A and B are shown apart, each in its own frame.
Chain A
Amino acid sequence: MTYFFQLVLSGVVVGSIYALSALGFVLIYKSSRVLNIAHGQLIATGAFIAYALTVWVGIPIYLSFFISMVLTFFLTMSVERIFLRRLIGEPIISVIMVTIGLMSILDGLIYLTPFGSENFSFPRFLPKEPISMAGVSISWTQLVGVIITFAMIGAFSWFFKKSTVGISMRAVSDDQLASMSIGISVPRVFGLAWATAGLSAAAAGGIIGNITGLNFDTLHAFGITVFPVVILGGLDSILGAVVAGIIMGLIQQFASGYLDGNWGLNGTGTVLPYIILLIILLFKPHGLFGIHEIERV
């Protein structure tokens, strides 16, 4: 039974990290209907900036996480300004391909730095001992990760629900023409959406980097790993990202906990999310919480 609870706890922890990584997709998609394939690279960039600031510059680690988030915020904002602003109104495949191109460019830029081919790990700044209770345990890194995740998701939900800027972002996602006519600057909203996505990517990068160590391959693979999460939750729902993240975390943990090693199966945790995704897509094409749009000719 303890084993079961441990799986649940690990699933929730992993799931909330997925949710934070997925948040970046949702933020961009929500306002500009773009799927950013380069998100994994942004996660890696955020982690690397934080490391460089902490270890090479010598800034305290909390502060450098914060600065890394701010820097990534401006980085993605300028990415949007340079590459994506021109493509407003182009067919969706062009925009997806631009993000794919962006992915390659970021890859190239990261290969220019030592991070491209070497491994690093963050200095430890949290207590080593895990928090254990009734046989299940969670590390401080994971706990802090979960707290940050929920804090950020809470903040973004409030932002979209209550703040003026957030409401204008929602308006843009609903109808670009109408929102322009009431004086919302659509390009600014897009820029802001990308910037906030960058911010969340940097946060996710910091957390994942602390758990796995800084290896470029591992980090940028997260961009792909969280696709099923994003789709399952519905591309435009923050709540969906959280719920789907935790569901996927649980599925993975249970798959590797109960399926692997039995019946000659192995590595099911990697593929099961995609199988479940395909099935869910057949029954609920817009994910669990996605908005079903009514199209007219």
Chain B
Amino acid sequence: MSANRWLATGNYFTTYKEEQRIFLTHTDRLIFSFFLVCVFVWPLVFETNNKSMLVVDNILIAMIAVLGLNLVTGFAGLISIGHAAFVGVGAYTVASVSRVMGDDYILLTHAWPAMILASGLVGAVFGAMVGLPAFRLKHLYLAIATLSFQMIFQWTINFMEFFNQGQTIFVGRIFWLNGEVGRNEHYIFWYYVILIILVLLGFMVRNLLRTRFGRCLIAVRDNDRAADAMGMHPGLTKVYAFGLAGFFAGIAGALHAYLYRGVGIESFTLHESITYLAMAIVGGLGTLNGSFWGPAAIKMLELQVEKIAEHAGDMMPASMNLATALRPLTFGLVIVLFLMFEPRGIANWWRIIRSYFKLWPFRY
């Protein structure tokens, strides 16, 4: 290790412990702290409106969900085409309480942090259950097992009277220290809640990867038989991974339920599962910061395309079809182009930019 912990240009590790530090240099830590402060302060400085806060909140929730998906798909290498269903499990945990106890029951409105945690745990249980076939299944067959869960989940919600047959189940307004959180502060309030949870979970994943379990995940992804030979249990590791992904998804689901103040099946369909996968890939599979880039990129792209489509619609009113075709076209093209030209996702660009600054004035 170089003596200077501010400007390290290369790897000077002498112990494993040094290599596994969360922040390699003091500069890293400083920049990160500064970034965190910015993220917390900006809504107080700039004027915000409900729509943009809703969009931002939505992106943050997607980040939490994709963090989980990245654990199971990126780090453990198990394709999950049912992630939205796990998010749905979390949301419907909140909805069930609302259904049984009434939507302004004290547990929902006052003890909401506990509800969010509980939803995460329920999500984890379901995740582990769906992961059980991983003891025997691999690759595509496992992917199809998750797809089955997605279909069964959708059918159950659509069919059961208890879940209002997929129609919205309302969740009441919540209370905070200074009383009810009203319509005007709703989105800002949840921005902070989601942000804090996201930062906590982000650190959790970062730390997880430093543990024995984190290394197990990667070993199982790269070659599960070799991992087995080295004394790891691939089956159990996979089930753990699914359970963890379910936990993250469950929390995202509960937050979704509270943010939208209601739960309906449309937000947890197969199409959403595919979108989560696309986010994970565009961000960069198997990287921590990819889970943040992906959702932001995909959601922003959607918004921009919507705007362009609107203008296109204004220009050519008689052929509305062009405007409506733009969204699936761009979504598909972005996925395909990323996979063809940048399979490592946006996280790779980030890595390149970072090393550029790190190595400057030398060339990358």
For the complex, is A285 an interface residue (Cβ under 8 Å from B)?
yes
Residue in chain A with minimal CB distance to B319? A112
B144 lies within 8 A of A109 (CB): no
Nearest-Cβ distance from residue A268 to partner chain B, whole angstroms: 9
In A51-109, which residues have CB < 8 Å from any B CB? 83, 86-87, 90-94, 96-98, 100-109
Docked CA distance A92–B327 (Å): 26
B138, B155, B332: residue with the most chain A Cβ atoms closer than 10 Å: B332
For the complex, is B321 an interface residue (Cβ under 8 Å from A)?
yes
For the complex, is B209 an interface residue (Cβ under 8 Å from A)?
no
A91, A94, A231, A274: residue with the most chain B Cβ atoms closer than 10 Å: A274
| Number of chain A residues close to chain B: CB under 8 A | 49
For the complex, is B226 an interface residue (Cβ under 8 Å from A)?
yes
A228 lies within 8 A of B136 (CB): no
A267-B229 in contact given A92-B140, A98-B335, A111-B328 (Cβ < 8 Å): no
| Number of chain B residues close to chain A: CB under 8 A | 50
Residue in contact with A97 in the complex, picked from B155, B278, B328, CB distance below 8 Å:
B278
For the complex, is B1 an interface residue (Cβ under 8 Å from A)?
no
A107 lies within 8 A of B336 (CB): no
Residue in contact with A108 in the complex, picked from B274, B281, B329, CB distance below 8 Å:
B329
For the complex, is A286 an interface residue (Cβ under 8 Å from B)?
yes
A98 lies within 8 A of B339 (CB): yes
B328 lies within 8 A of A93 (CB): no
Query: In the complex, what residues of A have CB within 8 A of residue B205's CB?
Result: none
Residue in contact with B141 in the complex, picked from A107, A231, A266, A271, CB distance below 8 Å:
A231
Docked CA distance A91–B281 (Å): 12
A105-B139 in contact given A93-B73, A266-B159, A274-B148 (Cβ < 8 Å): no
Docked CA distance A8–B328 (Å): 40
Nearest-Cβ distance from residue A26 to partner chain B, whole angstroms: 12
B133 lies within 8 A of A282 (CB): yes
For the complex, is B56 an interface residue (Cβ under 8 Å from A)?
no
For the complex, is A297 an interface residue (Cβ under 8 Å from B)?
yes
A96 lies within 8 A of B79 (CB): yes
For the complex, is A147 an interface residue (Cβ under 8 Å from B)?
no
Residue in chain A with minimal CB distance to B340? A86
Query: In the complex, what residues of A have CB within 8 A of residue B223's CB?
Result: 297
B73 lies within 8 A of A105 (CB): no
Nearest-Cβ distance from residue B316 to partner chain A, whole angstroms: 12
For the complex, is B107 an interface residue (Cβ under 8 Å from A)?
no
Majority secondary structure of chain A interface residues (helix, strand, loop or mixed): helix
Query: In the complex, what residues of A have CB within 8 A of residue B332's CB?
Result: 100-108
Residue in contact with A228 in the complex, picked from B77, B148, B229, B335, CB distance below 8 Å:
B148
Docked CA distance A86–B229 (Å): 34
Query: In the complex, what residues of A have CB within 8 A of residue B226's CB?
Result: 297
Nearest-Cβ distance from residue B269 to partner chain A, whole angstroms: 11
B335 lies within 8 A of A97 (CB): yes
Residue in contact with B151 in the complex, picked from A108, A116, A274, CB distance below 8 Å:
A274
For the complex, is A227 an interface residue (Cβ under 8 Å from B)?
yes
For the complex, is B232 an interface residue (Cβ under 8 Å from A)?
no
Query: In the complex, what residues of B have CB within 8 A of residue A104's CB?
Result: 328-329, 331-333, 335
In B215-231, which residues have CB < 8 Å from any A CB? 223, 225-226, 229
For the complex, is A224 an interface residue (Cβ under 8 Å from B)?
yes
For the complex, is B200 an interface residue (Cβ under 8 Å from A)?
no
Residue in chain B with minimal CB distance to A83? B336
A selection of 30 A-B contacts at a CB cut-off of 8 Å is A83-B336, A90-B339, A90-B343, A92-B79, A92-B139, A93-B77, A94-B339, A94-B343, A96-B79, A97-B339, A98-B335, A98-B336, A101-B335, A104-B335, A108-B332, A109-B325, A113-B321, A228-B148, A231-B144, A235-B141, A267-B155, A270-B151, A271-B156, A274-B151, A275-B148, A277-B144, A285-B141, A297-B223, A297-B225, A297-B226
Which residues in B have some Cβ–Cβ distance to A below 8 Å? 73, 77, 79, 133, 136-141, 143-145, 147-149, 151-152, 155-156, 158-159, 223, 225-226, 229, 270, 274, 277-278, 281, 285, 321-322, 324-336, 339-340, 343
Which residues in A have some Cβ–Cβ distance to B below 8 Å? 35, 83, 86-87, 90-94, 96-98, 100-109, 111-114, 116-117, 224, 227-228, 231, 235, 266-267, 270-271, 274-275, 277-278, 281-282, 285-287, 295-297
